[in-house]
Amino acid sequence: MTAAAGVGALAYRAAWAAVPRVPESLARAMVNRVADALVDRRGPGVLQLARNQRRVLGADATPAALHAVVRAAMRSYGRYWLETFRLQRMDTRAVAQQALAGSTGLHHIRAAQDAGRGVILALPHSGNWDIAGLSMVELVGGITTVAERLEPESVYRRFVAYREQLGFEILPLTGATGTSGRTAAVLRERLEQGRMVCLLADRDLAGNGIPVTFFGERTTMPAGPAMLAARTGAALCPVHLAYTDTGWIQYVGAPLELPGARLADQVHGGTQAMADVFAQRIALFPADWHMMQPLWAADRCGAAGVVVATNGSADRAAVGTPGGTPVVTTEARP
């Protein structure tokens, strides 16, 4: 473990211990001050966030408008971490019910389950995906997702334990308890059992995803959600999460059509349809999209075609490729 990883592990441990004990109003004010200071510092993550938000807002957006959205997005991301550290002391049943009360489209999940189909919820990095997962546990009894083994190991174990306490089944990508092929097989098995799989799906870290147009510009997105839907018959529902001042907005879209008869056509068409819904919803709530890493090809590759990384191990790709075909390409934040 590197020295930086060790410091990071200590910081996470301190946050888990201290943040829940601070009054919420004080903790929120502190988080906002830190977020504003990071914006003023203009580090690599903030600059990339601004580049990403420029695509969302469009070329006509003024510098003042862009700055306001970037500032709000950093505060929104800070709120995600604040809620993560405080959730252990909250009434999780009440939180889940409040999140469900702010949800639309839940009938799509019920209809799929009534038909005996599994459900894939594909979502971008918006809002609070842990609280969304908690609400789905309340709704359907449990969810399955994927997490790569991150460094340091102590942080990985802490976040896995935290999410397991919320009712998530966490499948590892690699390591002693699983391999990429096994994880992909378990995901297919869960869907064939009529259960729910949740995957973050707006960023193709591995660089081998499906070409799509996103906010008018070409990039790639993970093949996993559409691939799993095509192979299992599960309903692929695009999801978007956002915040209100005191709660959460959760949108569940209708199951996407997978056009064509060939698997390749279904995966390409389904992935583009997913990207289209993501774009529509992100445009409504740009400040709640926490994308601080290169997403579009123009940003991911420098002049020599080298992928640019901005944040170390905070996000890693989870890629299952049995038979040489990408089955899962998603991210699992710590």
DSSP 322: G
- Whether 210 and 270 have beta carbons less than 8 Å apart is answered as no
Q: Is 196 helix (H, G, I), strand (E, B) or coil?
A: strand
What gap in Å lies between CA 145 and CA 168, rounded to an integer? 7
Q: Where are the domains of the chain?
A: 91-331
What gap in Å lies between CA 3 and CA 315, rounded to an integer? 19
Question: Could you tell me the pLDDT band of residue 329, with boundaries at 50, 70 and 90?
Answer: very low
- Whether 145 and 197 have beta carbons less than 8 Å apart is answered as yes
Per DSSP, the residues of 98-140 read HHHHTEE-HHHHHHHHHTT--EEEEE-SBS-HHHHHHHHHHHH
Helices (H), 166-319: 180-192, 224-232, 263-284, 297-300
Model-level pTM?
0.86
**With 90 as the cut, is the pLDDT of residue 228 above it?**
yes
What gap in Å lies between CA 88 and CA 100, rounded to an integer? 19
Length of the chain: 334
Contacts of 277 (CB under 8 A, 6+ apart): 238, 240, 253, 256
pLDDT tens digit sequence for 70-123: 999 999 999 999 998 888 888 999 999 999 999 999 999 999 999 999 999 999
